[in-house]
Structure 1
Amino acid sequence: MMFSLNSLQNVVYNPIIPYVGTISEQLEPGTLIVLRGQVPSDSDRFQVDLQCGSSVKPRADVAFHFNPRFRRANCIVCNTLKNEKWGREEISYDVPFKEGKSFEIVVMVLKDKFQVAVNGKHTLIYAHRISLEKIDTLGIYGKVIIHSVGFSFSSDLRSSQASTLEWTEISEENAQKSGVSQFTLPFVARLNSSVGPGRTVVIKGEINTNAKGFSVNLLSGKSKDIALHLNPRLNVKAFVRNSFLQESWGEEERNITCFPFSPGMYFEELCRRFRGLGVPCVHMIIYCDVREFKVAVNGVHSLEYRHRFKDLSHIDTLEIDGDIHLLEVRSW
């Protein structure tokens, strides 16, 4: 899944390499950095650095050094530079880059790590060694062609949706609608309007450390039919999809190219009614066209689930339960 440039902020097109630019806002959990470019056929390496300033002498600290190498060892080296000294290298030999081919790199900022996906597939995770508050500069170096660099800041999502909260709590035990840090599970909420064009639901949470699984349901409150049942099962690494119609479960769908969840994983989920338009969404995305739901998780996976519940206008209720620490629920 490719991110629409319309969904990104501070986009820089065709920067000259080496490129050093200031990051306009503070990096926070949920921020995305999206780079599109191409690896030249004669490239031996390039690097993307999240830096603490742009000083050359002394050299600025590098919180996250992402360094694909193509010659002697085809690998990706990650590291941190503190006080002009490199730390312990973390090396991945699963290299998704091809010389002469285009790429899309998505760096997702999590509360305790960076998660990197290349061309829609999970590539690596790198734990923070320097606090996010110190990172203010992006550097790109080496033999690489960059077509665009853009950001999706978590603050943009919060500020743009703060006044458009549209759901009604069904359970009195659920937390207040705004300014919450925790919800009681199971969480049940009725949308103020049913699923329709442009409809969006945002779920922010963290998967519990010893999680076995959790579920997200979109259903008809009147009939209790579940139009879409998403059930990641971490203990068996299965992402189950199904529908519960006329008091009966249908056939499970499980096929998936890459299981995108892990214990302790922070995520956001955007559920959007979709009709052939680019979806300016990040993290876990569920959007709906006339034939199917389409799902992406943190930009690293996509799947399709064909509609079994035919009248989408009756989908008006959201249910969430399981091994998840729920932080925020919004809809518009």
Structure 2
Amino acid sequence: MAYPGFGGMQAPVVNPGIPYIGEIQGGLQPGKMITIQGFVIPGADRKRGWLGITYEECGFHVNLQCGASTQPRADIAMHFNPRVMAGVVVRNCLQNQAWGGEEKQHGPFPFAMGQNFEMIILTEPDKFKVAVNGQHFIEFRHRIPFQRVNTLAIDGKVQIQAIRFDSGMPGAPQAQKGGAPVFNPFPQVPGSLAAPPAPMVPPGPMAPPGAHPSSGPHALQVPYIGSIAGGMYPGRMVIINGTVHPGAPDRFHFNLQCGASTAPRADIALQFNPRFAARAVVRNSLINNGWGGEEKDTPYFPFMPGQPFELMVLCQQDSFKVAVNGQHFTEFRHRIQPLTRVDTLVVEGKVSLQQIRFT
């Protein structure tokens, strides 16, 4: 479904089952990006190949399809198939139940058993561009009009943590010097469509199933203090992927604040504070070292010990809108102006962070 108040953007998909088949709302158009965060499951399946010879293979596939039909089988505009044992990624398309000619990459293989990955697919007028773990990987020229594509399908030895759909925002501001780096895995060449910037801190993947995320080499340190290059402004969004600590966590909080000063303490435009014992999420602001009135009314408590989450904060003209796991959760009217004063994100408490993005 589309997220209410977020410009019709499709809600992210969190921890879907595999095989996964889902609608791409609105289909594809140039500039649209699909971001898939996953984990390659260790182990291999025995398969029967040429002349009945059996072999082992570990792999998965991501399909951009024209519907979800199985009888007859839907056309596939791009079949992206990492084969881990062979160290190759095969791309192909299926038209009228017949496969076309395979394409295989030349260069390093970016997937490994037992490892996380982030894959981004960008639609351009003449091709798909694919980045893996922050690096441009391959291109696949359209053999089927991209306008027909309306379905994403994923299957194989893979666990998916999150799928995001971004329509693209031409002209979005670039990060400034000293701020978060701009992640653009699709270098522009003359005559191509520029990919919309998506600042990311850092381009690290999520933790494998059962592992404590903070133990991974790509996890962000908590307490986390990071600058928001250019500050906040209407239309800007902060996206935070994290995991609540297991056991009996007390609380954690996210602050959107005006600098990182501790003496005197920086003003806080929004403190978002889940409290597990009370099963409440308290919102407040701090101005001139004084806390304002707390806001607690929420429809439900969306956080669970040991469980991952995605928090999205959209800055609007009069308020912040907050979504958790793709569902609208609350609004908080601005108490601090101008919004450009809000230039720092702080995260503390019983939580691990995998990724922070600014769009």
| TM-score w.r.t. length of structure 1 | 0.49
| TM-score w.r.t. length of structure 2 | 0.46
